[in-house]
């Protein structure tokens, strides 16, 4: 194939951009994914607005911080302090504190994960179960990540601190992919009692 | 999932996070938390991430007509909903991947 031919093929494919949306399965996935993400984000934002009106920190950020503090203490960080304010929590040893803000609670990641589950399978009981399991897995890695960051900050390794942040991101992303891989098996598990 | 495809996913996520690391470092040296304080870096970083995502999807043999909507989906996930960009890419890719595997 010469260069002109491959160029015209590329242009043809680009022109048929809308063709992806004539694929019903793909179009339905995109619509379900975005509408679920929209709906869950609205609910979450409404909850954040409500807690802000109450002049409180949201429960998820508080719990993630509290568990991370417990993990850091269990891992041997002496005099590990923990204090929360309206905009987030501070964990660690005096002078080496870590700020855990609302954006660090991992919930947006869990919502995108949930949107894929609903986007590919629709609203089903098995989807709900997978969303709950997914949120627990994401939060488990998140607590592990923040707890480890507190420990590393205490040990004084700034490079490790920087490094571990991204290592845990890779782990969280891979765990989400594994949960998606398990989806057909979970669906089958939930379908079996109905078939009987 | 084939080991080759899983390996490509790991490489993609690693390359994406390496660019995020650069961006975080730029935020750190500019003493800001807002990416709009460093707009040039934001534009370059976003373009780089889109190129990596495009290359990932192309290597995974996703057709071009699907690549653009998937990148669009990931950008909406990031910009509108503040979700993670690579998970948007992986969601679109994995949907097509499982569908194709089931059809084979």
- What is the model's pLDDT at position A70? 92
Could you give the percent of chain B with pLDDT greater than 70? 99
ipTM, two decimals: 0.89
Read off the pLDDT band of A166 (50, 70, 90): confident
First-to-final CA distance of chain B: 13
Query: What residues of chain B lie within 8 A of the CB of A19, using their CB?
Result: 65
Which residue in chain A has the smallest CA separation from B69?
A20
The pLDDT of residue A17: 62
So where are chain B's domains? 3-103
Let me know: does A160 contact A135? Beta carbons within 8 Å: no
Of B97 and A19, the one with more pLDDT: B97
Q: What are the residues whose beta carbons fall under 8 Å from the beta carbon of B3, sequence distance 6 or more?
A: none
pLDDT confidence of residue A45? 93
Average pLDDT of the segment spanning A103-116: 90
Q: Is A13–B98 a contact, with Cβ atoms under 8 angstroms apart?
A: no
pLDDT at position A15 is 61
**Given CB atoms, is A178 within the 8 Å cutoff of chain B?**
no
* Sole residue written with tokens 């994960």: A113
pTM of the complete model beyond 0.90: no
Distance CA(A33)–CA(A13), nearest Å, equals 24
Residue A42 buriedness (CB in 10 A; 0-12 / 13-18 / 19+): exposed
Mean pLDDT of chain B: 88
pLDDT band, very low/low/confident/very high, at A160 (cuts 50, 70, 90)? low
Check whether A187 has a pLDDT greater than 60.
Answer: yes
Q: What is the pLDDT of residues B32-49, one digit of tens each?
A: 777 777 788 888 888 999
Dist CA B25 CA A194 (whole Å): 53
* Residue B78: alpha-carbon gap to chain centroid: 10
**How far, in Å, CA of B96 to CA of B102, rounded?**
10
Tell me the Ramachandran region of residue A89: left when phi exceeds 0, alpha when psi lies from -120 to 50, beta otherwise: beta
Alpha carbon A93 to its chain centroid, in Å, reads 27
Name the closest residue on chain A to residue B13, using Cα atoms. Answer: A170
Q: Give the separation between CA A109 and CA A169, rounded to whole angstroms.
A: 11
Overall average pLDDT of the A126-142 stretch: 90
Strands (E), A23-157: 81-84, 88-92, 98-101
Q: How far apart are the first and last CA of chain A?
A: 56
Please give the backbone phi and psi of residue A56, each rounded to the nearest 5 degrees, phi first. Answer: -130, 160
**Subunit contact A119:B95, Cβ cutoff 8 A:** yes
B7–A contact, CB cutoff 8 A:
no
The rounded distance, in Å, linking the Cα atoms of A100 and A143 is: 11
pLDDT of residue B72 exceeding 90, the answer is: yes
pLDDT in tens, A55-80: 888 899 999 999 999 999 998 888 88
Q: B40: how many CB neighbours lie within 10 A of its CB?
A: 8
B84 CB within 8 Å of a chain A CB: yes
Whether the per-residue pLDDT at B95 is higher than 90: the answer is yes
Can you tell me the distance from the alpha carbon of A3 to that of A134, in angstroms, rounded to the nearest whole number? Answer: 47
DSSP A121-177: H-S-HHHHHHHHHHHHHHHHHHHHHHHHHHHHHHHT-HHHHHHHHHHHHHHHHHHHH
Residue A16 with chain B: CB contacts under 8 Å: 65
């Amino acid at each position: 194939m010469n260069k002109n031919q491959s160029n015209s093929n590329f242009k043809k494919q680009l022109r048929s951009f809308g063709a992806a949306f004539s694929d019903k399965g793909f179009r339905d996935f995109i619509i379900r994914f975005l509408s679920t993400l929209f709906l869950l984000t609205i609910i979450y934002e409404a909850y954040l607005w409500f807690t802000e009106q109450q002049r409180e920190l949201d429960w998820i950020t508080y719990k993630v911080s509290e568990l991370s503090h417990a993990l850091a203490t269990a891992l041997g960080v002496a005099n590990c302090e923990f204090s929360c304010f309206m905009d987030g929590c501070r964990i660690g040893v005096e002078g080496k504190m870590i700020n855990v803000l609302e954006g660090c609670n991992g919930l947006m990641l869990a919502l995108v994960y949930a949107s894929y589950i609903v986007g590919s399978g629709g609203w089903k009981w098995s989807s709900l179960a997978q969303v709950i399991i997914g949120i627990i897995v994401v939060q488990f890695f998140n607590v592990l990540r923040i707890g480890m960051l507190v420990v590393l900050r205490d040990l004084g390794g700034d490079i490790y601190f920087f490094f571990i942040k991204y290592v845990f991101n890779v782990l969280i992303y891979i765990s989400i992919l594994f949960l998606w891989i398990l989806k057909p098996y979970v669906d089958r598990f939930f379908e079996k009692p109905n078939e009987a | 999932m084939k080991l080759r495809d899983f390996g490509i996913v790991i490489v993609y996520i690693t390359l994406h996070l390496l660019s995020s690391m650069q961006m975080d470092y730029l935020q750190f040296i500019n003493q800001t938390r807002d990416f709009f304080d460093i707009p040039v870096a934001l534009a370059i970083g976003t373009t780089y991430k889109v190129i990596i995502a495009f290359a990932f999807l192309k290597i995974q043999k996703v057709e071009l007509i699907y690549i653009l909507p998937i990148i669009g989906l990931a950008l909406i996930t990031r910009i509108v909903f503040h979700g993670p960009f690579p998970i948007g890419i992986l969601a679109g890719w994995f949907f097509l991947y499982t569908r194709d595997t089931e059809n084979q």
